[in-house]
Amino acid sequence: MTTLSIPTTSALPSTQLVPSTHPAVHRTLLRLSRQSMISLVLDWLDERNQENTAPYLLSSDDEDNDENDDDLYPPASSLAALREIYTDLQGRKGGKRDVVDRAIEGDWRDGISLYQLAMADMQYLYDHPSSQKWNALKITRLTNDQEKTSPSIPRFHPATFLRNLQQEVLPDVKAHYNLDRHATLPLLILRVFIVESPYNTSLALQSVNQNSILDSNKTFYVAFPDSSPHVFVSATFNAQSSSRGPSSNNKSLRRLILEGIPKAFSKPRERYTLQSTSLSAKNLEALVEKRGGGRTSAAGGGWSVYAEEKHGKDNPLNTQLPTPEASILDDVESNTKEEEKGLKRKREEAHDVVKRRRLVAQGRFGNTAKADDGKGIERLDIRVEDLFPEADAAEEEDLNLDDSARDRNSKRKGRRSSISIELDKAEEDDVQADGWRPDVRITLHGSHVFAGIRDLIEAGIVEGEKMPGWMTGEEGVSLGVVRDGRIRGFKGTGV
Amino acid sequence: MLPSTDDSVLEDTIGAQLDSEIASLKAQVQTLKTQRKTQSTTIISSRTTQTILSRLRASQKTTSTRSSQETDISPLLSTSTAQLAHNQENLYRSCAGITTFRIRDPDPNAVDDGNVLGIRFDVSTSGKFVRPYYVMLNKPWAGKTLLRIHRHTVPSCIPLASLADRYLPHGKGAAAMGDKESGAKRQDLTRFVRALRREIVGYHNRVSVIKGLRKEFKLDEKVSRKGKERERVIADISVADAEAKQVRIEWVDGRIGRAVVDDKGDVKKCVVIGEEGRDREVERRVCAGGMEGIGERLREGIY
C-alpha cells in the first residue's frame, strides 16, 4: 500500500480494497441470494480473477503461527481448497448470512476490492433485471454541414471510451469503472462508481462520513447495445433520499458523467451529443428491441410482422403459397391457454366473435405485446391534445380510458414534475388556433402495458379497429404528446 | 435435490422415451406436410398440369350447367391462378431485388387515409437469400406528394437516415418527384432505393468476406490436429464496428492490425502494430487491393 497520496486525475484501480467492516460491503453482499453469492465467490476464486480478487490464504511462513488457531474461519492453504469449501457450501442448505460472513470475516478479511463490489452489484442487477430504470438516449452527431453523410453509429472502443470519460470527470471526483457483458442480451454494461475524493488510493475511501461514501446512489450504469446509436442510462431511482444536500450532489455527479459520455465518444472533427428518445423502461429486453441494432427498432406493433423471423417462408425461392391470415391465427390459438381467463365471464359470446377480436388484435399488434414475451414497459405517459370531439366519439373515448384505468390501476400521483417538464418543452412552439384542445393526461401503469391493452381488445372492452395507433406501442416511446390521434414528432419512426 | 427412489427413475426414463418418440413423430409429420406442399406446388406449376387445367377451364365454360355433379374443379382452378401469380411474384423478387407493394396502415388516425407504400429488398449472400428488408413510405403532408419513411426494418448499421436526407428531402424547398419546380431539392425514390440496396448488399458482402477470411485461416475450427497443419499465424480476424467497415486482425505473435474498408470493399487504411512498433511491410500488403484479397496477400508474406 502506498504511503504517499497525491491528488491525481486517474481512475480508482480495481484492486483498491474496501475494508470488510464497512457497512456498504455488508449491504451490497447481503442483497444477493445465497446461490448467487456462492457462484460469485466461486468467480472470485477463478484463476483469471486473482489479480483483483485474491483471497486471504495461509502463507507458508506463518504456518506455525499460533495466532490463527482460535480463528472462526481458519484461512485455507490454497485456492483449490477454498474452492472446494464453497462448492461444498453450494450443496448444503443454509442461510445466505453464513456465506457472506465467511467471505467477509474469513477469506477476504483484508478487504473487498472495488472490482469485487462491482461484480456483486452486477450480479444483483442480473438477478433483479427490473431493479434499475433505464432511459434510452440517442447519440447524434453535432454538425453544421448537412450535405456530408455521417456514419450512423459512432464506433465504440471500450478502453478508449473509458480513458476519454475519465478525462471529462473533474479532478476532485474519483470513479471506478467496470465493464461487463450481459449474459443473454447484446449489451455491454458499464458500471460507474463515484467517490468524491481527489485521491485514488485508500485515502479516498477513508472519509469521516463513512455511511455516505459508498452510497448506492453514487453507482450508476450505462448500457451500450451492440451496433446501435443508442445508450441506456440508469435513472437515479431513490432520488428522495433523507437529506437534500447529498441528493442534489449525487444528481450533479450523475450529470457530470452523463455529459462526459458524448464527449468520450467524440474525436477531433467528429463531435457527438446525446438526445432524449422519450423512452424509459425497467425492462432492458424491451429497450433492446426498441432501440437496439436489430430490425425491430422502427417496426413496432403491427408492423413487427415485417421484422420477424419466418423460417424461410418469405424467401423468394419458396414456391409454397403463403397461408392466409385467418388460419395463421388458428395455430396461435391452439398454443395459447388463456381460455379460462377470457371466457369466465363471457361464456355466452359466440366463438367467432372472440376469434374476430383475436384477429383484430393480431392485426394491430402483430406478434408483439404478448403477456409472456418479457418485453413489457411498465409505464406509458401520454398527453392527448386532440380537438374536443363530437358527442358520440367522446363517450367512447371516455369508456376506453375508464376501463384501462380500472384494469391497470393506473392513476398515480407524484413524480409528475419531470414528465411535465418534458411535455411542456414540446408545447413551446405550439400554435393554438383551431378550437378547444383540453389537456388530457393518461398514465397507463402495469407490468406489461401493451399486453394489457391487447388483452382488453381480445376481451372486447377496447374496440380494436378504432383504437388509436399509440396504444399499440408501435412508436416505441413511453412518453409522448398525441395530436390528431398520432404521437407528435413521430410522423414516422424511421428517421 | 431429493434422492429419488427407483420407481420414479424408471417412470422418468419411460416418460422421457415416450416424449422423445412423440417429438420425433411430430417432426416427421411436419416434414411430410411440407413435402406434400412442395410436391403439390410443383405439380400445379408444371406445364402439363397447366395445359390440362386450361382444357378443363374451357370445358367448364361450355358445360357449366352440369359439371357440378361430377367433380367441382373451381377450387383447383383458383389455386392454380394463385400459384401462378405467386410464382411470378417470386420471379420478380428474386431477379429484380426491389419490389413494391401496398399496405394499409391499421391506425385509424393514419395520415393519407392509411395508404402506405411498401418496398421490399431481397438480398442474397453466399448463395442464399437473407430475410428481406422492408421500407414503408407514406405521404404525411396534406396537399403534397412528398414521401417520408414511415416504418422500416433496416438495422441501424445501414445509414438509412443519411440516405433519406439526401434522396428524400422534406424540408424547406423540397419538391416531390412529379413536381415541375426548378431549383428545388427534388425527391428521388429510384435513386434512394438503389443507394439503399447498394448499402445493404455492401454490408452483407463485407460480412461474408470476413467470414471467408476466417475460414481461410481456419479460425473457426478446433486447433491442433497433431501439428500436421501449417502452424497458425493469424489468431483472430473479426469485425470491429457495426457497419463491418473495420477489420481487426490479430497475429499469434501479438501484433494487432486494423484495416478500414470503403464502400467498394477496397482497403483504404491499415495499421499493424506490434511490440517493436509498426509493421509497415504487412500494412502495405493489406492495403494493396480489395478486402477479399487480404488473406491471399497475407499468406504471401508469411510463407
Inter-chain contact B131–A310, Cβ cutoff 8 Å? Answer: yes
B108 CB-side CA count, 13 A: 9
Mean pLDDT for chain B? 82
Q: How many beta-carbon pairs under 8 angstroms link A with B?
A: 157
- Residue A202 in this model has a pLDDT that exceeds 90: no
What does the pLDDT read at residue B23? 94
- Would you call A296 an interface residue with chain B, using a CB distance cutoff of 8 Å? yes
Read off the pLDDT of each residue in A310-327 and give the average, rounded to a whole number. 71
Beta strands in A152-216 (DSSP E): 174-181, 187-195
Inter-chain contact B164–A494, Cβ cutoff 8 Å? Answer: yes
What does the pLDDT read at residue B104? 86
What does the pLDDT read at residue A493? 44
Instruction: Tell me how far apart the alpha carbons of residues A135 and A132 are, in angstroms, rounded to a whole number.
Output: 10
Residue B34: inside a domain? no
Share of chain B above pLDDT 70, in %: 85
Q: Smallest CA–CA separation between B154 and chain A, in Å?
A: 5
- The residue with greater pLDDT, A412 or A139, is A139
Inter-chain contact B157–A302, Cβ cutoff 8 Å? Answer: no
pLDDT in tens, A259-308: 888 888 887 777 888 888 888 888 888 888 888 888 888 887 888 888 88
- Count of all residues that appear for chain A in the document: 495
Residue A138 dihedral angles phi and psi, to the nearest 5°: -105, 135
Mean pLDDT for chain A? 73
What does the pLDDT read at residue B121? 92
> In the numeric block, which cell numbers belong to residue B75?
377450387
Inter-chain contact A486–B111, Cβ cutoff 8 Å? Answer: yes
Among the partner-chain residues B1, B129, B153, the one whose CB lies closest to the CB of A316 is B129
Q: Smallest CA–CA separation between B118 and chain A, in Å?
A: 10
Residue of chain B minimizing CA distance to A296: B153
- The answer to whether residues B203 and B121 belong to one domain is yes
Domain C-terminal end among B208, B239, B264: B208
Instruction: Tell me how far apart the alpha carbons of residues A436 and A472 are, in angstroms, rounded to a whole number.
Output: 27
Residue B11: inside a domain? no
Instruction: Tell me how far apart the alpha carbons of residues A410 and A402 are, in angstroms, rounded to a whole number.
Output: 10
What DSSP string runs through A212-276?
HHT-GGGEEEEEEETT-SEEEEEPPS--S-SSHHHHHHHHHHHHHHHHHHHHHH-BTTBEEEEEE
- The answer to whether residues B118 and B195 belong to one domain is yes
pLDDT in tens, A339-382: 444 444 445 567 788 888 888 888 888 888 887 888 888 888 88
ipTM exceeds 0.85: no
Residue of chain B minimizing CA distance to A360: B106
- The residue with greater pLDDT, A145 or A80, is A80
Residues in chain A closer than 8 A to B38 (CB atoms) = 319-320
Give how far the C-alpha of residue A96 lies from the chain's centroid of Cα atoms, to the nearest Å: 27
What does the pLDDT read at residue A6? 65
Residues in chain B closer than 8 A to A155 (CB atoms) = 240-242, 246
Instruction: Tell me how far apart the alpha carbons of residues B91 and B100 are, in angstroms, rounded to a whole number.
Output: 13
Most confident stretch, A191-205, A236-250, B93-107, B173-187 = B93-107
Residues in chain B closer than 8 A to A385 (CB atoms) = none
Read off the pLDDT of each residue in B43-71 and give the average, rounded to a whole number. 72
Q: Smallest CA–CA separation between B228 and chain A, in Å?
A: 31
pLDDT in tens, A460-487: 888 888 888 888 888 888 888 888 778 7
Q: A173-187, A426-440, B199-213, B232-246 — which is least confidently predicted? A: A426-440
Residue B171: inside a domain? yes
Among the partner-chain residues A151, A316, A469, the one whose CB lies closest to the CB of B109 is A469
What does the pLDDT read at residue A334? 47
Domain boundaries, chain A: 20-60+69-110, 127-298, 301-385+439-488, 393-430
* Burial status of residue A47 (CB atoms within 10 A of its CB: 0-12, 13-18, 19 or more): exposed
User: Residues B108, A466: contact at Cβ < 8 Å?
Assistant: yes
Inter-chain contact B134–A363, Cβ cutoff 8 Å? Answer: no
Mutate to test the interface with A, among B38, B49, B109 (most CBs of A within 10 A): B109
- Residue B246 in this model has a pLDDT that exceeds 90: no
Share of chain B above pLDDT 90, in %: 14
What DSSP string runs through B215-268?
HHTT-SSPS-STT-SPPP-EEEEEE-STTS-EEEEEETTS-EEEEEE-TTSBEE
What does the pLDDT read at residue B79? 84
Among the partner-chain residues A295, A316, A484, the one whose CB lies closest to the CB of B155 is A295
Residues in chain A closer than 8 A to B151 (CB atoms) = 298-299, 303, 306, 474, 492-494
Instruction: Tell me how far apart the alpha carbons of residues A121 and A107 are, in angstroms, rounded to a whole number.
Output: 19
State the Cα torsion A483-A488-A491-A492 to the nearest 10°: -130
Residues in chain B closer than 8 A to A307 (CB atoms) = 134, 153
Residue B288: inside a domain? yes
Residue of chain B minimizing CA distance to A463: B108
Residues in chain B closer than 8 A to A363 (CB atoms) = 106
pLDDT in tens, B84-119: 888 888 899 888 889 999 988 888 888 878 889 999
Share of chain A above pLDDT 90, in %: 0
User: Residues B122, B132: contact at Cβ < 8 Å?
Assistant: yes
Inter-chain contact B140–A306, Cβ cutoff 8 Å? Answer: no
Among the partner-chain residues A150, A307, A319, the one whose CB lies closest to the CB of B153 is A307
Residue B15: inside a domain? no
For residue A352, CA distances in Å to A359, A370, B273 come to: 10, 21, 69
> In the numeric block, which cell numbers belong to residue B160?
438509412
pLDDT in tens, B1-32: 445 455 566 678 888 999 999 999 999 999 99
State the Cα torsion B125-B127-B129-B133 to the nearest 10°: 10
- The answer to whether residues B167 and B195 belong to one domain is yes
Segments forming the whole domain that contains residue B287:
222-302
For residue A426, CA distances in Å to A123, A383, A385, A400 come to: 39, 11, 12, 26
Residue B292 confidence class, pLDDT cut points 50, 70, 90 = confident
Share of chain A above pLDDT 70, in %: 69
Q: What is the CATH number of the domain that holds B174?
A: 3.30.457
Instruction: Tell me how far apart the alpha carbons of residues A19 and A104 are, in angstroms, rounded to a whole number.
Output: 9
Residue of chain B minimizing CA distance to A484: B109
Return residues 331-370 of A near B (CB < 8 Å).
Answer: 363-364
> In the numeric block, which cell numbers belong to residue A285?
429486453
- Residue A144 in this model has a pLDDT that exceeds 70: no
Mutate to test the interface with B, among A315, A462, A490 (most CBs of B within 10 A): A315
> In the numeric block, which cell numbers belong to residue B53?
387445367
Read off the pLDDT of each residue in A77-97 and give the average, rounded to a whole number. 80
Residue of chain B minimizing CA distance to A313: B131
Inter-chain contact A491–B160, Cβ cutoff 8 Å? Answer: no
Mutate to test the interface with B, among A35, A277, A303 (most CBs of B within 10 A): A303
- Residue B156 in this model has a pLDDT that exceeds 70: yes
- The answer to whether residues B202 and B102 belong to one domain is yes
- Would you call A298 an interface residue with chain B, using a CB distance cutoff of 8 Å? yes
- The 3-state DSSP class for residue A68 equals helix
Residue of chain A minimizing CA distance to B33: A320
Inter-chain contact A491–B165, Cβ cutoff 8 Å? Answer: no
- Would you call A145 an interface residue with chain B, using a CB distance cutoff of 8 Å? no
Residues in chain A closer than 8 A to B86 (CB atoms) = 319, 321-322
- Would you call A468 an interface residue with chain B, using a CB distance cutoff of 8 Å? yes
DSSP A414: S
Question: B206-240 in b/e burial notation, b at 16+ Cβ within 10 A?
Answer: bbebbbebbebbebeeeeeeeeeeeeeebeebebb
- The answer to whether residues B99 and B146 belong to one domain is yes
User: Residues B184, B175: contact at Cβ < 8 Å?
Assistant: yes
Question: A296-321 in b/e burial notation, b at 16+ Cβ within 10 A?
Answer: bbbbbbbbbbbbbeeeeebbbebbeb
Please name the residue that has the C-alpha cell 479460425.
Answer: B219
- Residue B193 in this model has a pLDDT that exceeds 90: yes
- Would you call A316 an interface residue with chain B, using a CB distance cutoff of 8 Å? yes
Q: How many Å is the Cα radius of gyration of chain A? A: 27
Please name the residue that has the C-alpha cell 423471423.
Answer: A309
What does the pLDDT read at residue A182? 87
Domain C-terminal end among B186, B208, B230: B208
Residue B8: inside a domain? no
What DSSP string runs through B157-210?
TS-HHHHHHHHS--STTEE-TT---SSSEE--HHHHHHHHHHHHHHHHHHHHHH
Read off the pLDDT of each residue in A13-24 and give the average, rounded to a whole number. 76
Q: A41-55, B191-205, B237-251 — which is least confidently predicted? A: A41-55
Residues in chain A closer than 8 A to B105 (CB atoms) = 469
Among the partner-chain residues B86, B106, B133, the one whose CB lies closest to the CB of A363 is B106
Residue B259: inside a domain? yes
- Would you call A495 an interface residue with chain B, using a CB distance cutoff of 8 Å? yes
What does the pLDDT read at residue A416? 45
- The answer to whether residues B228 and B194 belong to one domain is no
Q: How many domains does chain B have?
A: 2
Read off the pLDDT of each residue in B152-180 and give the average, rounded to a whole number. 81
Mutate to test the interface with A, among B131, B133, B258 (most CBs of A within 10 A): B131
Instruction: Find all residues with CB under 8 Å of A180, minimum gap 6, and list them.
Output: A118, A122, A188, A189, A191
The second-level CATH assignment, the architecture, of A301-385+439-488 is Roll (3.10)
Residue of chain A minimizing CA distance to B140: A491
Residues in chain B closer than 8 A to A485 (CB atoms) = 107-109
Give how far the C-alpha of residue B159 lies from the chain's centroid of Cα atoms, to the nearest Å: 16
Domain C-terminal end among B208, B231, B264: B208
Inter-chain contact B108–A306, Cβ cutoff 8 Å? Answer: no
Residue B49: inside a domain? no
Inter-chain contact A299–B150, Cβ cutoff 8 Å? Answer: no
